[in-house]
Amino acid sequence: MSERASVPADEEGDEQTETSDQAPVTTGAQSVVRALENAGAEYIFGVQGGAIMPVYDALYDSDINHVTMAHEQGASHAADAYGIVTGDPGVCFATSGPGATNLVTGIADANMDSDPMIALTGQVPTEFVGNDAFQETDTVGITQPVTKESYFAADSDTVGDNVSEAFALADAGRQGPTLVDLPKDVTQGETDIEPAAPKTPDTYDVQEEADDAAVQEAAEALAAADRPVILSGGGVIKADASSALREFAIEYEIPVITTMPGIGSFPEDHELSLEWAGMHGTGYANMAISNTDCLLAIGTRFDDRLTGGVDSFAPDAEVIHVDIDPAEISKNIFAEYPLIGDARKVLRQLFDAMPRVPDVDEWREQCQTWKSEYPMTYETPDDEPLKPQYVVETFSDLTPDDTIVCTGVGQHQMWASQFWEYTEPRTWVSSHGLGTMGYGVPAAIGAKLAAPDQEVVCFDGDGSFLMTVQGLSVAVREQLDITYVVLNNEAVGMVRQWQDGFYEGRRMASEYPWIPQFDKLAEAFGARGFRLEAQEDVEETIQAAREYDGPSVIDAHIDPGENVFPMVPSGGDNGQFALEEDHLEML
């Protein structure tokens, strides 16, 4: 499906056998591509350009699939999503200057969510570096704060090693993005040196298993707790620890809350699941996290959208914090029991160290009571106007468990996380830490290519969709079977919700009554477009879009008055979430 210029398929096949990966490296660019091949790269998401051209030329002879994106931001988001779904680093390419700067949003996004990704950027020839040459920027300088490491490749003989190391580093320990900046003379330069095998730098140490004595102490504390809760973060999914978590929670009968990035790490249909906590998490998760006396937090960095005000976050709880990154321990929430290591291995250690099943029947009953007291519901007075929650819920009911849900950022993202039932890891692809509007369209492309056999749906908002809508052209060209659902309320709805709640309804720059008709826009791109207005048409429209073999867009005109609840005001107390507008006035 991806391109290698216009070489016919059969000719291409012949060519592949001739130029298999045994051909010797002759240029820096070929060394770069060889390093990517050695590391197992399957797809590259990128945009051509002057300074990166030698690398693209080398890619012409490679089996790696290249997907030309409509904008570099889309390339980095697609690579990011590919990394989330497969667990292996996604790869993106951009040229120097504006190409590189356009990648930065996606790199920063991957950095905040610890998604494995490697970005390769073209750079002006070394003799021009620092001279403000055409399309020059200090890419290493710009990206250093948002990568695990940014490399400036200075030599044709070692540029392949730089890429190998960057690839390995992106995947090692706490995953994240890396970047290699490739001056044009370095990639054009002659070399016959094969890149080294992917290996992390010798200064990068990762502790895989936690100290046994510390694990024992933590296990004793957990077993002795009256109101224990497991908080499962995105790191559980990253470490492929979901099944270990399930075994542990079920064996020791401890309720499980996830963070938003941790969605899918524990099945939401299990009775121990309280779904996810935080600003728009479920009421019962927030009640449990507020009242727990022992919090086993795994692979979470205690983001402020999760904790609310630090002073009121799980204030009675002793915290057992499992993380592979020591710097996350006690960064935001102090941990009485720090356990540094890989989530899957530490969960295994904890499993063996637990002295007994904690005696917490009453606590579990309390959690169930909260479930019935604060259920996730919404009002459906009549068929009109269409409720976004109903669209999400219906879609969830119609699709298989392994369906991948991508989103943009905004109210639609919250509804997609609240009203879809997630049971499998790596099926929730969203922008959490950076909160990047426009993430959804390209992310769905990366997710679909990562998992071609799984259904992919992307919920977006009208504001968010419009930011990267050009990515639809890529989905059409690649004939990717993705269903985009635009939950269209003609506004950047989350901003409007805050303005209504906290700025006396002064809706400055949040209403978008001028947006295009997305169904027609979809058709203009060559996708299928559907307009959805009535509740009675929801199921039929979704099925029609699912059945269409290619990208489709459902422009769902939802109730513009609908807001996201529950809600913990920024910096607030999780236990005092508002279930409705009236509650906000009490806080």
Partner 1 sequence: MPGPAPPERMRPKGRRNSQGIRVDPEAEVTHEPRQAVLSALVKHKPGVLSEVSALFSRRQFNIESLTVGPTVDSDTARMTILIEEPEPGIDQAKKQLRKLVPVIEVTELDPTAVRRELALIKVGGEKPDDVNAVAEMYDGQAVDASTDSVTVEITGSKQKIDAAVEAFKQFDVQEVVRTGAAALERGPTTLNKHD
Annotated catalytic residue within 37, 42, 53, 135: 135
Q: Which stretch binds partner 1 (CB under 8 A): 2-10, 123-131, 138-146, 347-355?
A: 138-146
Q: Which residues contact 397 (CB under 8 A, 6 or more apart)?
A: none
Q: Which stretch binds partner 1 (CB under 8 A): 17-25, 208-216, 507-515, 570-578?
A: 570-578
Tell me, residue by residue from 253 to 292, as one string, x for binding to partner 1 by CB under 8 A and - for no binding. ------------------------------x---x--xx-
Annotated catalytic residue within 12, 127, 134, 251: 134
Return the residue of 57, 325, 383, 537 that touches partner 1, per CB under 8 A: 325
Of 45 and 152, nearer to partner 1 (C-beta) is 152
Query: Cα separation of 121 and 561, whole Å?
Result: 44
Annotated catalytic residue within 260, 279, 414, 494: 494
Based on its alpha-carbon atoms, the radius of gyration of the chain, rounded to whole angstroms, reads 24
Burial class (CB in 10 A: 0-12, 13-18, 19+), 194: middle
The residue written with tokens 């950047």 in the block is 492
Annotated catalytic residue within 30, 152, 184, 248: 184
Of 322 and 474, nearer to partner 1 (C-beta) is 322
Of 123 and 242, nearer to partner 1 (C-beta) is 123
Return the residue of 248, 266, 276, 302 that touches partner 1, per CB under 8 A: 302
Of 369 and 543, nearer to partner 1 (C-beta) is 369
Of 47 and 142, nearer to partner 1 (C-beta) is 142
**CA dist 164 → 184, 191, 201, 238, 539 (Å):** 19, 16, 10, 21, 48
Number of helices (H), then strands (E), in the chain: 24, 18
Task: Tell me if residue 135 is catalytic.
Answer: yes
Tell me: does residue 204 bind partner 1 (CB under 8 A).
Answer: yes
* Residues in 304-323 at the binding interface with partner 1, rule: CB under 8 A: 310-313, 315-318
Tell me: does residue 370 bind partner 1 (CB under 8 A).
Answer: yes
Of 82 and 167, nearer to partner 1 (C-beta) is 167
CB of 199 to partner 1, least distance (A): 13
CB atoms within 10 A of CB 332: 14
Of 149 and 519, nearer to partner 1 (C-beta) is 149
**CA dist 485 → 132, 441, 444, 517, 548 (Å):** 43, 10, 12, 13, 14
Annotated catalytic residue within 69, 72, 345, 354: 72
Burial class (CB in 10 A: 0-12, 13-18, 19+), 490: middle
Of 284 and 459, nearer to partner 1 (C-beta) is 284
Q: Which parts of 113-189 are beta strand (E)?
A: 117-123, 149-152, 177-183
Task: Tell me if residue 72 is catalytic.
Answer: yes
Tell me: does residue 206 bind partner 1 (CB under 8 A).
Answer: no
Nearest alpha-carbon partner for 39 in 133, 168, 138, 152: 168
Tell me: does residue 55 bind partner 1 (CB under 8 A).
Answer: no
CB of 178 to partner 1, least distance (A): 9
Query: Cα separation of 187 and 31, whole Å?
Result: 8
Query: Cα separation of 428 and 457, whole Å?
Result: 10
CB of 575 to partner 1, least distance (A): 5
Nearest alpha-carbon partner for 309 in 287, 329, 290: 290
Return the residue of 15, 155, 490, 573 that touches partner 1, per CB under 8 A: 573
CB of 152 to partner 1, least distance (A): 7
Q: C-alpha 443: how far from its chain's center?
A: 8
For 524, the token pair is: 């203009």
For 91, the token pair is: 């790869």
CB atoms within 10 A of CB 515: 17
Of 224 and 310, nearer to partner 1 (C-beta) is 310
Query: Cα separation of 407 and 84, whole Å?
Result: 13
Task: Tell me if residue 128 is catalytic.
Answer: no
Return the residue of 16, 126, 332, 394 that touches partner 1, per CB under 8 A: 332
Tell me: does residue 565 bind partner 1 (CB under 8 A).
Answer: no
Q: What is the dihedral of CA 111, 57, 449, 246, to 10 degrees?
A: -40
Tell me: does residue 452 bind partner 1 (CB under 8 A).
Answer: no
For 188, the token pair is: 């054009």
Residues near partner 1 (CB under 8 A), total: 47
Footprint on this chain of partner 1 (rule: CB under 8 A): 140-141, 144-145, 148-149, 152, 169, 201, 203-204, 283, 287, 290-291, 293, 302, 310-313, 315-318, 325-327, 329-334, 370, 372-374, 573, 575-579, 583, 586-587
Residues forming the active site: 72, 134-135, 184, 494
